Amino acid sequence: MILSMTGYGTGTAKDDSLTVAVEIRTVNHRFLDLHVRVPREYQFLENEAASLLRGAVSRGRVDVGVTVTNPAADAFQIDYGLARKYLAAANEMATHASLYGEPVKEYVPDMVRLLGLPGVLRNNNEAALERSGETAEKIVILMKKSLQTALESMLAMRRREGEALRDDMLANLAEIENSTSEIKKFSQNAPAQYFEKLRARLDRLLSQSGAQGVIDPQRLAGEAAIIADKCDISEELARMTSHVEQYRALMDAGEKTGKKLDFLLQEMLREANTILSKSDILEITHRGISIKTDIEKLREQVQNIE
C-alpha cells in the first residue's frame, strides 16, 4: 500500500475544565517540512507534538494547529506591580533624559499601550500554569490524545488518496508495457529494414554518380549487420520491462516508497531516451515518445507519494 502526501485530520480531547483540539494538514514536499502552531502560553506543547509527528510522517509539508480552550482563561489578571515598574521607568526617562524638551515631573501613559506591555495583562490559565505543573501535564495528555485522533484521520485520508494514485499509476504502467511490447515486435524486423535502407541508399548514390557495377550482396549484408548491431535496443527493452516489474513490486512493498519510485522512473526515462537515440524506425519512435509521455505522468503522480 502506498500513501499520498495529501491529507487532513482533526481531533479533540477534553476533561471537566479543558478542551484541546488539533488540526493537521499535509501536502507534498520533497522532505519532511514540519510546522506546529500553538498558543503563546502553551509553547511547551510544540516539542511534544513535533516528536509524535516525526514518528508517524516521514515526508511532506505538515501544518499542525493546536488550540486549548479553558473557561477560566476568559478572565484576565493585571500585574499591577509590573505595571508600576514600567510606569516608574517611563517617568525616570521623561524626567532625567528630558525627552520632551523641558523635564516633566510625571509621565501620564496611554493605558492601552501599558496593558500591551509584556506580562502586564495575563489570562487566568497562563497564571495557573506558572503555579501548577499538574495543569501543564494534564494539557500534554489531552494534546496527545487529540493529536493521535487527528493523525489517524489524516493517515486514513492519505491511504485513500494513495489507492487512487495507485490505480492511475497501474494504468500508466500498462501503457508503457504495451508500448514496449510493440517496440519489441518492430525491432525484430530492424535488420531487414536496415539492409533495405542501405541498399536503396547505395543504389541512389550509384545512380546519381553514373557509376556502373553490381553491389556485393555479402558486403552489403555485413554493413547492414554492423548498423543493426549499433542500433540494437534489446538490452534497453529488457531493462524497461524489468523496471516496470520493480515498480509494481515497490507499490505493494510498503507505504513509504516515494523516493525509490522516483529514482526508478529516472532509470526508465534513461532507457526510453536511449531507445529513441538508437532507432530511426518511425514506428519505434512513436512508441518511444508514448513511453516518455507515460513516464512523465508517473513522475507527476510520484511527487505526491510519501
Element (H, E) at 142: helix 133-188
pLDDT score of 23: 97
Supply the pLDDT for residue 113. 77
Per-residue confidence (pLDDT) for residue 82, from 0 to 100: 81
Question: In sequence order, what are the residues at sequence separation of 6 or more whose Cβ sits closer than 8 angstroms to the Cβ of residue 120?
Answer: 78, 79, 82, 83, 86, 114
What pLDDT, on the 0 to 100 scale, is given for residue 131? Answer: 43
233-259 tens-digit pLDDT? 888 999 999 999 999 999 888 767 888
Span 189-216, pLDDT tens digits: 666 566 566 666 655 655 655 555 555 5
Question: What's the chain's Rg over C-alpha atoms?
Answer: 36
Output the nine-digit C-alpha cell for 164: 487512487
Tell me the residue type at 89.
Answer: A
| Phi-psi group of 294: left, alpha or beta (phi > 0 → left; psi -120 to 50 → alpha; rest → beta) | alpha
Q: Which residues of the chain are under the pLDDT cut of 50?
A: 130-132
In this prediction, residue 85 carries a pLDDT of 84
Q: Which domains are seen in the chain, by residue range?
A: 7-73+131-158 (3.30.230), 80-118 (no CATH), 160-302 (1.20.140)
Burial state string for 166-177 with b = 16 or more CB within 10 A and e = fewer than 16: beebeebbebbb
Instruction: Please report the pLDDT score of residue 110 as a whole number.
Output: 72
pTM of the model: 0.66
Q: Are 9 and 24 in contact (CB under 8 A)?
A: yes
What is the model's pLDDT at position 104? Answer: 52
The closest of 22, 20, 26 to 7, measured between CA atoms, is: 26
